[in-house]
């Protein structure tokens, strides 16, 4: 195992080459695409399950099936179905992560205050208005926690997907240096990417979350 | 059923409740619990009607049925009708509702909360600003448009809820013990201000309370309700011109009379 100083030295080496940034960029785009699709499908399905008994009854067990299906099988299946195209790793992310998002949002719908929905009903708010202004704001804490989970799972899956399949991105670098038995270089890539993901969580998501919940703390002017 | 419609058509009735009965099924033994027992009342345009009764007598259930958030099946007995002024084809009556709690959307500004009701009622967007300003001023909250509800006191939040209800210019304004969660001094101020609003905007109000003094001070018409059975046992008119004073001897005597009435009914039940 390389020590921290060696690791730092290798990271400087990795990012001394401009080509490294393209490698990282390719992976980040895949992750973000995966996360966005997961959030859209997961939120919509979670909301539907919370609103409609029939849909809830139907998907209740299917979500559990998806959650327990071995992640590695999805990775292999995606490679089989889509070979070396970009769709493989993204599909792997979506299939593994969206059930987690769905679960979270569905749980969130159970915490919605019925009193406020009743109020909106008396004023004859349309369904879309109720979803936008009454339900979604109450679900925001759940949406943010789902987003966090989605990002943290997605980047790990993306690397595995890249290692097995497409042959580009950070995952491909990991498997390349692994096969070359260069643990130092492999870790330099892995650890630097982890740092980047934590930075996105702290600098983007946390700040965004704080702004979203400003109404909780806003001080009268 | 046609008999009811005829009797209603005579006056400028806004809300007509006829022999309304509401039952809940008891999950334990398959029995039924009668929440409302043959309730009849009429609220006329511009009138302030109050239902007074002890806690748990089904007053809120009645308001919720009128508001359409509590179901009522015709086989349970009786009917509820809400009429509306602008009888455009396909339009439904406008109902404003002030609940015990303000029930504001805390993530929207004060203005946003009122606009929510206006948007729900499909008020033309160009009238929103005018409505918001007019009714915030009426409840004494001018200049609070951009503030968030959680910065406001409980009394002010309830004022926003009242402005929201008035802003849609409702055919009927339902109020369910709107001041019961406020401290007495704030509640007293709110009652005075509500009376001012009555004199200015002349809304039609059906008000539910357990506070006899509040009912006498505010109402034109009082329906007294008992808990078991959940019936209206007396109807009283309060013919005192506004503005009223709570220390007005007529008001005070009437309140004492109502207290006596209630105790005689309660005693008869024991």
Q: What is the pLDDT of residue A165?
A: 75
**pTM greater than 0.90 (yes/no):** no
- Decide if B168 touches A, using CB distance below 8 A: yes
Tokens of B2: 């046609």
Every domain of chain B and the residues it spans = 2-94+198-269
CB contact under 8 A, A116 and B103: yes
B91 at interface of A, judged by CB pairs closer than 8 A: no
What pLDDT is attached to residue B86?
61
Give the pLDDT confidence score for residue B267 in this predicted structure: 77
Contacts of A124 in chain B (CB under 8 A): 92, 120-121
Please check the confidence at residue A80 and state whether its pLDDT lies above 90: no
Asked if the C-beta of A54 comes within 8 angstroms of chain B's C-beta atoms, the answer is no
Q: Name the residue range of residue A17's domain.
A: 4-211
What's the whole-number average pLDDT of chain A? Answer: 90
**How confident is the model at residue A3, as a pLDDT?**
87
pLDDT score of A218 more than 60 = no
- For residue A221, tell me if it sits in a domain: no
* Cβ proximity of B96 and B172 under 8 Å: yes
Task: Compute the distance between CA of residue A89 and CA of residue A27 in angstroms, rounded to an integer.
Answer: 10
Give the three-class secondary structure for B177: coil
Report how far residue A7's alpha carbon sits from residue B39's, in angstroms, rounded to the nearest whole number: 81
Does the pLDDT of residue A174 top 70, yes or no? Answer: yes
Report, as an integer, the average pLDDT of A164-185. Answer: 89
Q: State how far residue B148 is from chain A, nearest Cα, in angstroms.
A: 6
Please provide the distance, in angstroms rounded to a whole number, between the alpha carbons at the two ends of chain B. Answer: 37
Nearest CA in chain A to B118: A123
User: Count of domains in chain A?
Assistant: 1
Q: Span B154-161, mean pLDDT?
A: 96
Give the pLDDT confidence score for residue B32 in this predicted structure. 83
Q: Each residue of B164-173: pLDDT tens digit?
A: 999 999 999 9
List, in order, residues 6 or more apart from B9 with CB less than 8 Å away.
none
Query: What pLDDT is attached to residue B11?
Result: 57
Write the CATH number for A70. 1.10.3720.10
Is it the case that residue A63 has pLDDT exceeding 60?
Answer: yes
Computed over every residue of chain B, the mean pLDDT equals 89
The whole-number pLDDT of residue B9 equals 44
Tens digits of residue pLDDT in A138-172? 999 999 999 999 999 999 898 888 887 777 899 99
Q: How confident is the model at residue B30 (pLDDT cuts 50, 70, 90)?
A: confident
In the prediction, which pLDDT does B246 show?
Answer: 79
Asked whether the beta carbons of residue A126 and residue B120 sit closer than 8 angstroms, the reply is yes
**A217 assigned to some structural domain:** no
* Least confident stretch, A103-112, A204-213, B85-94: B85-94
Q: A124 and B116: CB-CB below 8 Å?
A: no
* Percentage of residues in chain B having pLDDT higher than 70: 94
Kindly state the average pLDDT of the residues B243-259.
Answer: 90
Residue B3 has pLDDT above 60, yes or no: no
Report how far residue A208's alpha carbon sits from residue B17's, in angstroms, rounded to the nearest whole number.
Answer: 51
Question: What's the confidence (pLDDT) of residue B88?
Answer: 59
Average pLDDT over residues A182-192: 93
Q: How much is the pLDDT for B73?
A: 85
Write out chain B residues lying below 8 Å of A211, CB-based: none
Tell me, what DSSP letter sits at residue B49? E
Residues of A in contact with B157 (CB under 8 A): none
pLDDT above 70 for B18: yes
Report whether B76 contacts B21 (CB < 8 A): yes
b/e per residue A64-74 (b: at least 16 CB within 10 A): eebeeeeeeeb
What pLDDT score was predicted for residue A221?
42
CATH class (in words) of the domain with range B2-94+198-269? alpha beta
In a domain, A142, yes or no: yes
Q: Tell me which H or E stretch contains B4.
A: helix B2-10
Whether A218 maps to a domain, the answer reads no
* Mean pLDDT across B186-207: 94
**pLDDT one-digit tens code per residue, A14-60:** 999 999 999 999 999 999 999 999 999 999 999 999 989 999 999 98
As a whole number, mean pLDDT of residues B214-237 equals: 92
Mean pLDDT score, B100-127: 96
């Amino acid at each position: 195992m390389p020590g921290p100083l060696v690791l730092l030295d290798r990271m400087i080496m990795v990012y001394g080459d401009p080509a490294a940034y393209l490698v990282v960029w390719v992976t980040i785009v895949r992750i973000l695409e995966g996360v966005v699709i997961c959030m859209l499908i997961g939120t919509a399905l979670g909301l539907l399950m919370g609103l409609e008994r029939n849909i809830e009854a139907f998907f209740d067990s299917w979500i559990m099936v998806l959650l327990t299906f071995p992640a590695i099988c999805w990775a292999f299946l995606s490679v089989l179905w889509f070979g070396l195209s970009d769709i493989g790793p993204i599909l792997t992310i979506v299939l593994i992560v969206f059930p987690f998002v769905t679960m979270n949002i569905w749980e969130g719908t159970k915490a919605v205050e019925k009193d406020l929905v009743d109020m909106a009903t008396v004023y004859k708010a349309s369904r879309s208005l109720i979803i936008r202004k009454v339900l979604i704001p109450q679900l925001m804490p759940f949406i943010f926690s789902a987003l966090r989970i989605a990002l943290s799972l997605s980047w790990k899956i993306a690397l595995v997907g890249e290692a097995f399949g497409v042959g580009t991105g950070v995952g491909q670098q990991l498997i390349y240096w692994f096969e070359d038995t260069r643990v130092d270089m492999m870790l330099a890539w892995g650890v630097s990417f982890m740092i980047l993901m934590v930075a996105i969580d702290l600098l983007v998501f946390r700040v965004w979350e704080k702004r979203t919940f400003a109404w909780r703390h806003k001080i009268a002017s | 059923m046609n008999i009811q419609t005829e009797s209603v058509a005579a006056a400028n009735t806004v809300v007509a409740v006829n022999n309304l009965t509401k039952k809940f099924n008891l999950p334990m033994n398959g029995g039924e619990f009668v929440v409302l027992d043959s309730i009849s009342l009429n609220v006329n345009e511009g009138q302030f009607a109050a239902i007074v009764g002890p806690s748990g007598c089904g007053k809120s259930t009645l308001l919720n049925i009128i508001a359409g958030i509590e179901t009522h099946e015709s086989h349970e007995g009786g009917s509820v009708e809400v009429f509306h002024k602008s009888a455009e084809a396909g339009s439904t009556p406008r109902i404003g509702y002030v609940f015990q709690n303000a029930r504001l959307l805390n993530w929207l500004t004060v203005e946003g909360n009122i606009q929510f009701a206006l948007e729900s009622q499909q008020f033309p967007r160009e009238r929103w600003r005018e409505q918001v300003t007019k009714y915030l001023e009426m409840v004494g909250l001018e200049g609070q448009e951009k503030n968030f509800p959680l910065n406001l006191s409980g009394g002010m939040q309830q004022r926003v809820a009242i402005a929201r209800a008035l802003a849609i210019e409702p055919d009927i304004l339902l109020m369910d013990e709107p001041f019961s969660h406020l401290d007495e001094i704030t509640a007293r101020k709110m009652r005075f201000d509500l009376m001012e609003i009555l004199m200015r905007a002349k809304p039609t109000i059906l008000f539910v309370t357990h506070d006899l003094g509040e009912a006498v001070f505010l109402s034109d018409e009082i329906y007294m309700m008992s808990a078991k059975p959940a019936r209206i046992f007396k109807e009283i008119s309060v013919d005192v011109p506004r503005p009223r004073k709570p220390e007005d001897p007529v008001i005070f005597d009437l309140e004492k009379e109502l207290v006596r009435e209630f105790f005689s009914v309660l005693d008869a039940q024991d």
